[in-house]
């Protein structure tokens, strides 16, 4: 096996200081995101979503960012999934984006709330039909006997909705928005002296911008 301890990379692409960032963390995120798209980072909207039970047991998975709307970061999922259940019990979460090509990370923390049914339906019905069928077919995060069971259910639903291009949204599926209270922008630098700029929402609703030690 490769010697994992020896896997290292020097970061020299960019620098980051308080004078380089926008007043708003969402504006700064959009600027970095656009740059990630321009340099063709694969799936720049892929993000780690970390949730936690009320007892403090965490879980994390990769999901896709679907918008910067309603003052936060929007994603969609099955409400009956593990993440959906954890968000129902403990509506606090964290996100992390990693863009290797730019040697950058972004971390986000804050409360999470459901989007309106209208917003969730509008997005659901904009998805490819196969994805709509899949949302109905999959009892996400529950054990199933085999993949064949899932494929049979997809086949049944495809027949049921053969004449329709748009399906109704499942009541157990919809969107969330994470409204940030902390956003950290990380830029890799040489000798592990990385640049870290943190936005923190204060008690008056104003963003405080701070440099953190790496």
**Coil/strand/helix, residue 179:** coil
* Segment 8-17 mean pLDDT: 93
Which pTM value belongs to this model? 0.94
Annotation says 192 is catalytic: yes
Q: Is 106 exposed, middle or buried (0-12, 13-18, 19+ CB in 10 A)?
A: buried
- Contact criterion met (CB below 8 Å) for 64 and 46: yes
Per-residue pLDDT at 70 exceeds 90: no
Instruction: Strands of the chain (E only): list them.
Output: 46-52, 58-64, 67-69, 72-78, 92-99, 104-114, 173-178, 182-187, 195-201, 207-212
Q: Computed over its alpha carbons, how large is the radius of gyration of the chain?
A: 20
Measured distance CA(51)–CA(172) in Å, rounded: 18
Per-residue pLDDT at 158 exceeds 90: no
Question: In which residue are the tokens 């659901």 written?
Answer: 124
Retrieve residue 79's tokens.
């409400």
pLDDT in tens, 105-149: 999 999 999 999 999 999 999 999 999 999 999 988 889 999 999
Measured distance CA(158)–CA(155) in Å, rounded: 5
Retrieve residue 176's tokens.
């969330």
Which of 113, 192, 200, 211 is labelled catalytic? 192
Question: In which residue are the tokens 């798209």 written?
Answer: 37
């Amino acid at each position: 096996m490769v010697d994992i301890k020896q896997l290292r990379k020097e970061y020299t692409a960019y620098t980051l200081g308080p004078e380089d960032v926008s007043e708003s963390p969402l504006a700064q995120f959009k600027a970095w995101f656009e740059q990630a798209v321009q340099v063709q980072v694969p799936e720049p909207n892929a993000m780690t979503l970390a949730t936690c039970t009320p007892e403090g047991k965490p879980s994390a998975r990769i999901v896709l960012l679907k918008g910067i709307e309603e003052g936060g970061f929007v994603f969609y999922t099955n409400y009956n999934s593990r993440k959906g259940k954890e968000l129902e019990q403990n509506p606090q979460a964290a996100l992390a984006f990693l863009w290797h090509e730019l040697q950058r990370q972004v971390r986000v923390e804050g409360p999470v709330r459901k989007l309106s049914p209208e917003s969730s339906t509008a997005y659901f019905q904009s998805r490819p039909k196969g994805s709509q069928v899949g949302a109905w077919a999959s009892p996400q995060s529950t054990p199933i006997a085999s993949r064949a069971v899932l494929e049979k259910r997809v086949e049944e639903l495809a027949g049921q909705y053969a004449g329709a291009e748009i399906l109704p949204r499942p009541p157990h599926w919809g969107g969330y928005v994470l409204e940030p209270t902390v956003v950290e922008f990380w830029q890799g630098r040489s000798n592990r002296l990385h640049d870290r700029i943190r936005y923190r929402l204060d008690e008056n609703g104003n963003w405080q911008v701070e440099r953190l030690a790496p």
